[in-house]
Amino acid sequence: MKIFRDIISSRNNDTVKWAASLADKKGRSESGAFIAEGEKLSLEALRRGLPVTHIFVMEGKEKRIMQLLSPFVDLPEYSDCQVITLSEGAFSKISTEKAPQGIISVIKHLDFFKNMDIIYKEDFFIPRGERALSLYSLRDPGNLGAVIRSAVAFGVKHIILSADSADIYNPKTVRAAMGTMFGVKVSIVSDFASFVEAAKANGRAVYAAELTDDAVSVKEIGLSGDDIFIIGNEGHGIPREISSLCTSSVYIPISEGAESLYASVAAAGFMWEQNNV
């Protein structure tokens, strides 16, 4: 790692302004990079060998942060990674946390996150036994991160995400996922119907998670580990043109008087059921 000893104190420094721009989707898209804030996320990224290009350290936290970074300082894959100390004021321009821990990492977009316009049968190859979950128009970045965290906990290896969902690199998504997104494949699909059709053509049952007149209880469908659930938008659910393509619609039985579950809770419920087949 290239460790810079001089402390940057100006909030208008070009590097500080560039790093701050990564809090916005436009800045992330232009730079092909995103931020991971806090000790857990930064260290998890380094342990996994992700392409970390910059590490910003808040003045006064240098001793502890450098101790945490010591196992990675001399690794060849991080020979060009810049470690830069910022004053508290300059650091706060980049930080998205109310109580920052004093470390922010900049990571290049991950090559196991794919953007796909249309998925053809030949493109949708997931080995048997590899769990997958799909999310349609999940707009809240915190919800998206929470679902990813639960999915990985239940053994999901592949997330299929509609293109109008929250940005996978949003700092709130990254924070809510708590590092789990660093170890899961993500396919971001513009034509979501093509994903459903390709998955079915490859022998996968695809279930729309929704409360409709023709929906059946998840306990009655004879789940297998290869089945894929679609979790829909927080307010509008799954549009009929998508759910009509699915194997069937399913729901989780809940108490009378309760209308629905949060998307992240529903996703965890379905995955728990699938985990016990």
Q: How far apart are CA 41 and CA 219, in angstroms?
A: 36
pLDDT at 211: 84
Give this prediction's pTM: 0.91
pLDDT at 30: 97
pLDDT at 264: 86
pLDDT at 212: 85
Domain ranges of the chain: 2-108, 113-275
pLDDT at 126: 67
The residue ranges of DSSP E strands in 59-205, in sequence order, are 82-86, 103-108, 113-116, 131-135, 156-162, 185-189
pLDDT at 156: 93
What's domain 113-275's architecture?
A: 3-Layer(aba) Sandwich (3.40)
**Amino acid at position 87, single letter:** S
Q: How far apart are CA 246 and CA 228, in angstroms?
A: 10
pLDDT at 124: 74
pLDDT at 125: 66
Superfamily, domain 2-108: Ribosomal protein L30/S12 (3.30.1330.30)
pLDDT at 263: 84
Could you say which residues of the chain have pLDDT below 70?
Answer: 125-127, 257-259
Tell me the pLDDT of the chain averaged across its residues.
Answer: 93
CA 261 to mean position of chain CA atoms? 21
